[in-house]
Amino acid sequence: MSSDVRFTDFKSDKQPTWCPGCGDFGTMNGMMKALAETGNNPDNTFLVAGIGCSGKIGTYMHAYALHGVHGRALPVGIGAKLANPNLEVMVAGGDGDGFSIGAGHFVHAVRRNVDMTYVVMDNRIYGLTKGQASPTSREDFETSTTPDGPMQAPVNPHALALAAGGTFIAQSFSSDAMRHVEIIKEAIEHPGFAFVNCYSPCVTFNDVDTYDYFRDSLVDLKETDHDPTDKDAAKDVIFDTEKEYQGVIYKNEASVPFEDRWGISEDMSKIESKPPEGAMDLVREFY
């Protein structure tokens, strides 16, 4: 891997169509910086994006990329990593993509613990489809389709991840650029499935979960005595509904990625084109 890669090497030549001020700009810039600063380059990086405003990131970043099907980015990332463990795999998408239609994949991706990074660009709304409530919207968040709010408590993605055996669970904020980069770098370097929920405000459809709101309310775990290797301490943070936190909430230092546990270290993209000896005899046995 080249050491002189700059974060701008991860920028594609496409002009983002995100609204001016959208949190997704900061989230993406931080991801590119973190990739460059961890010694990655566009040639070894595979980015899988979901569907949504957030999903457009697959077009705006220069790397191997796939803009997939709504809620289905994670299994594609897992498959790619297992087929070629040399790839740096990053998956990104919105809170709708990850925690409603893709919720099943999220839980099972966490369980499997393949070495990859999952960044959820959480704006607590469906942006692309023009402002409906998402799974992380507040109970009383009024939208055109939920005039009295969703009338149910939001999903707690960190709790889902912890319950599924998550080995790296974190929260960042797109506007706190330095901390966002630090957290994503730690996620990339974690051996296993690293989940970072990033608050990425939607300036067009969400006038509640704004930059000002997050700036005023976020408590940085780095400035507290929080020990991310302590699961009980992580639970306290995750179930504290009175405060918003940023930082690494939980990290299992004994994490062994799925592919290392099961000896999947071969780059399958280099498999010879002819079948292994005896393979055809085996196939004929079942005719």
Ligand X SMILES: Cc1ncc(C[n+]2csc(CCOP(=O)(O)OP(=O)(O)O)c2C)c(N)n1
Q: Out of ligand SF4, ligand X, none, which partner does residue 82 contact, by CB within 5 to 8 A per kind?
A: none
Q: Which backbone phi and psi does 282 adopt, to 5 degrees?
A: -60, -45
Q: How far is the CB of 53 from ligand SF4 (least distance, A)?
A: 3
| Residue 175 makes contact with ligand SF4 by CB under 6 A | no
| Residue 52 makes contact with ligand X by CB under 6 A | yes
Q: How far is the CB of 68 from ligand SF4 (least distance, A)?
A: 18
| Residue 60 makes contact with ligand X by CB under 6 A | no
Q: How far is the CB of 276 from ligand SF4 (least distance, A)?
A: 48
Q: Out of ligand X, ligand SF4, none, which partner does residue 70 contact, by CB within 5 to 8 A per kind?
A: ligand X
Q: Out of ligand X, ligand SF4, none, which partner does residue 32 contact, by CB within 5 to 8 A per kind?
A: none
| Residue 18 makes contact with ligand SF4 by CB under 6 A | yes
Q: How far is the CB of 57 from ligand SF4 (least distance, A)?
A: 11
Helices (H), the chain: 23-37, 57-60, 73-83, 95-96, 103-112, 157-163, 177-189, 211-217, 231-238, 258-261, 279-285
In 3D, which of 173, 161, 100, 158 has the Cα closest to residue 132? Answer: 100
In 3D, which of 261, 263, 229 has the Cα closest to residue 112? Answer: 261
Q: Which residue has the tokens 């918003």?
A: 244
Q: Which stretch binds ligand X (CB under 6 A): 60-68, 88-96, 247-255, 264-272?
A: 88-96
Q: How far is the CB of 102 from ligand SF4 (least distance, A)?
A: 17
| Residue 126 makes contact with ligand X by CB under 6 A | yes
Determine the Cα–Cα distance for residues 185 and 282; give it in Å rounded to an integer: 46
- The DSSP string of 142-158 is --SS-TT---SPPP-HH
- The DSSP string of 73-118 is HHHHHHHHHHH-TTSEEEEEEEHHIIIIITHHHHHHHHHHT-SEEE
Determine the Cα–Cα distance for residues 176 and 223; give it in Å rounded to an integer: 14
Binding flags for ligand SF4, 42-71, as an x/- string (CB under 6 A): -----------x------------------
Q: Which stretch binds ligand X (CB under 6 A): 13-21, 30-38, 124-132, 255-263?
A: 124-132
| Residue 28 makes contact with ligand SF4 by CB under 6 A | no
Q: Supply 127's token pair.
A: 């942006």
Among 205, 214, 245, 258, binds ligand SF4 (CB under 6 A): 205
Among 123, 134, 167, 197, binds ligand SF4 (CB under 6 A): 123
Q: Out of ligand SF4, ligand X, none, which partner does residue 249 contact, by CB within 5 to 8 A per kind?
A: none
Among 41, 44, 54, 172, binds ligand X (CB under 6 A): 54
Q: How far is CA 273 from CA 85, 122, 270, in A?
A: 19, 43, 9
| Residue 201 makes contact with ligand X by CB under 6 A | no
- The string over 37-68, giving b where at least 16 C-beta atoms fall within 10 Å of a residue's C-beta and e elsewhere, is bbebbbebbbbbbbbbbbbbbbbbbbbbbeeb
Q: How far is CA 7 from CA 14, 62, 114, 174, 280, in A?
A: 16, 10, 25, 16, 48
Binding site for ligand SF4 (CB under 6 A): 18-19, 22, 24, 53, 123, 127, 202-205
